[in-house]
């Protein structure tokens, strides 16, 4: 915590003794984690003024549980994909459920696939697998290993994983990342009292450097979250962790290509929004959902939905003050 206060003091030119009481209050009474305080710097007065409702991820859970009453439909990914399959919602093929001493196969393994925790979040359990012939496999582009040995290790683990086909970006997004990867949209939707559905906010996660996933993790990975208005896919700017290590900063150019974000437009933006609004109707007990959507050459594909989504402290201006109070007030 000393480093957080010192970093915030230097960046925002505020004496440390003025920041300590605010930070300790948010940590002990507001349930803000150290990582949240480091990334969002909500204890800094100028930052706090931009947030309509001060609430931490932990404190938001109880409020979202009242909004979304059947969280098993989304948080158990196996159940979620079964609902998607039943209702023709585009989603990645499930290849197997593996862990806790067993493997439940759905279909054979393709050349490339990924793993993620069946009930995890924030890319937990994520790994990339590439088959080399019929008997060997590489994990996260590492050395070649016997395929059966890797599957045996995964099956004896204490965590159940889902194995799915690996997806890749639309060609336009590959030019943005300067490599073949997957950069997903987060789209938050809401079911009104009259059972109509609307967009709350959206952003896209951009992979930077050698990262193998687009996980943001409060800025610690070096990846970006980029934003645009709610009426088009044109980007405006992105957020990343400040060089001093405290608080997010706004950047207007992509750090690898130098191209202004205002010259970039998310492909399939409208189709992705429409896909999530349509899908939401099959989860009627969850009024407010955060969808992770892959923009692939074949169209938008829903990776997962989240009943417990983070309050957008990283960019509070992209959700209206009215909606901030609706969910977190």
**Sequence ranges of the chain with CATH classification 3.30.470.20:** 62-79+169-328
- Smallest Cα–Cα separation from 204: which of 185, 231, 230? 185
**In this predicted structure, what is the pLDDT of residue 87?**
97
**Which of left, alpha, beta for 258 (phi over 0: left; psi -120 to 50: alpha)?**
left
Nearest-angstrom CA–CA distance, 245 and 285: 39
**Which of left, alpha, beta for 217 (phi over 0: left; psi -120 to 50: alpha)?**
left
> Can you give the pTM of this predicted structure?
0.94
**In this predicted structure, what is the pLDDT of residue 194?**
86
Average pLDDT over residues 195-212: 94
Query: Quick one: three-class SS letters along 148-201?
Result: HHHHHHHHCCCCCEEEEECCCCCHHHHHHHCCCCCCCEEEEEEECCCCCEEEEE
Q: Is the per-residue pLDDT at 121 higher than 90?
A: no
**In this predicted structure, what is the pLDDT of residue 195?**
85
Nearest-angstrom CA–CA distance, 125 and 141: 16
Average pLDDT over residues 256-270: 96
Average pLDDT over residues 90-97: 96
In sequence order, the β-bridge partners of residue 102 are 99
- N residues, the chain: 329
Please, what is the average pLDDT of the chain? 94
- Our CA angle for 243, 121, 270, nearest 5°, is 80
**In this predicted structure, what is the pLDDT of residue 193?**
87
**In this predicted structure, what is the pLDDT of residue 212?**
86
- Our CA angle for 268, 271, 275, nearest 5°, is 135
- Smallest Cα–Cα separation from 197: which of 267, 283, 270, 299? 283
Average pLDDT over residues 124-141: 91
- Our CA angle for 27, 30, 35, nearest 5°, is 45
Q: Is the per-residue pLDDT at 167 higher than 90?
A: yes
CB 211 within 8 A of CB 299: no
CA dihedral 19, 21, 26, 28 (to 10 degrees): 140
Write the CATH number of the domain with boundaries 62-79+169-328: 3.30.470.20
The pairing of beta strand 299-306 with beta strand 161-165:
unpaired
Q: Is the per-residue pLDDT at 245 higher than 80?
A: yes
And the tokens for 95? Answer: 């290849």
Question: Residues 261-281, buried b or exposed e (16+ Cβ, 10 A)?
Answer: beebebbbbeebbebbbebbe
And the tokens for 118? Answer: 């069946």
* Unique residue bearing structure tokens 């040995």: 149
């Amino acid at each position: 915590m000393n480093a957080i206060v010192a970093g915030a003091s230097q960046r925002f030119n505020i004496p440390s003794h003025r920041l300590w009481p605010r930070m300790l209050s948010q940590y002990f009474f507001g349930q803000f984690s150290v990582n949240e305080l480091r990334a969002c710097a909500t204890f800094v007065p100028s930052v706090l003024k931009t947030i309509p409702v001060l609430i931490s991820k932990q404190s938001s859970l109880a409020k979202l549980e009242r909004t979304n009453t059947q969280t098993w439909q989304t948080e158990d990914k196996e159940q979620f994909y079964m609902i998607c399959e039943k209702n023709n919602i585009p989603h990645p093929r499930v290849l197997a459920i593996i862990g806790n001493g067993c493997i439940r196969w759905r279909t054979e393994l393709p050349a490339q696939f990924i793993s993620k925790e069946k009930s995890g979040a924030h890319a937990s359990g994520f790994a990339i697998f590439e088959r080399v012939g019929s008997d060997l496999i590489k994990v996260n582009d590492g050395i070649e290993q016997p395929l059966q040995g890797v599957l045996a290790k995964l099956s004896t683990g204490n965590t159940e994983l889902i194995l799915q086909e690996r997806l890749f970006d639309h060609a336009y997004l590959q030019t943005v990342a300067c490599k073949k990867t997957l950069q997903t949209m987060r789209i938050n939707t809401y079911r009104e009292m009259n059972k109509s559905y609307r967009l709350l906010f959206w952003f896209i996660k951009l992979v930077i450097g050698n990262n193998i996933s687009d996980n943001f993790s409060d800025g610690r990975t070096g990846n970006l979250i980029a934003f645009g208005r709610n009426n088009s896919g044109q980007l405006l700017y992105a957020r990343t962790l400040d060089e001093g290590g405290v608080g997010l900063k706004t950047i207007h150019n992509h750090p690898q290509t130098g191209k202004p974000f205002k010259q970039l437009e998310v492909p399939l933006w409208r189709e992705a929004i429409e896909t999530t609004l349509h899908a939401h109707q099959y989860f009627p007990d969850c009024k407010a959902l955060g969808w992770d959507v892959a923009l692939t050459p074949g169209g938008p594909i829903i990776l997962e939905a989240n009943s417990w989504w983070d309050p957008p402290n990283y960019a509070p201006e992209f959700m209206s003050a009215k909606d901030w109070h609706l969910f977190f007030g």
